[in-house]
Amino acid sequence: MKTQSMTRGEVESALARAGLEIPEREKPEIAAAAHFIEEMAARLRRKREMGAEPAHIFPPPGE
């Protein structure tokens, strides 16, 4: 499955939009680690039936 790769600029923009004031020295280190998130998300995104339920569906209230 093709993994979309974020550029350093895109990562930094995403973090800025999240409101995180990251020291300049740490920005490239975080950006360089962003691929881990993309790779894990791609691994988890597999073909499933529309009705494939997540874990932790809670029981009906009162039950």
Partner 1 sequence: MVPDFLTIAEAGALIAKRELSPVELVQSRLTRIERLDGKLNSFIRVLGDEAFAAARSAEAEIIAGRLRGPLHGIPIGLKDIYETKGIPTTGHSKVMIDHVPAQDATSVRRLTEAGAIVLGKLATHEFAFGGPSFDLPWPPARNPWDTSRFTGGSSSGTGAAVAAGLCLGGTGSDTGGSIRGPAAFCGLAGLKPSYGRISRAGILPLAFSLDHAGPMAWTAEDCAIMLQAMAGHDPADPASANRPVRDYRAALSGEVKGLRIGLIRHFYEIDNPANEVTQQGIANAVKVFEGLGCSVNELRLSPLADWAACGVMIMLAEGYAIHEATLRERFIDYGEAFRDRMALAALITGGDYVQAVRRRRELIAELGAAMTDLDLVITAAAPSEAPTFNSVSKFAILERPSLTMPFNVTGSPAMSVCCGYTLAGLPLAFQLAGKPFDEATVLRAAHAYERATPWRSIRPTLPPS
Give me the residues that bind partner 1 (CB under 8 A), please: 6, 11, 14-15, 18-23, 26, 29-30, 33-34, 36-41, 43-46, 48, 52-56
- Work out the angle at residue 56's Cα, subtended by the Cα atoms of residues 15 and 42, and round it to the nearest 5 degrees: 45
Residue 2 or 52: the one with the smaller Cβ distance to partner 1 is 52
Minimum distance from residue 60 beta carbon to partner 1 (Å): 15
Residue 36 or 63: the one with the smaller Cβ distance to partner 1 is 36
43-62 as b/e: b if 16+ CB within 10 A: eeeeeeeeeeeeeeeeeeee
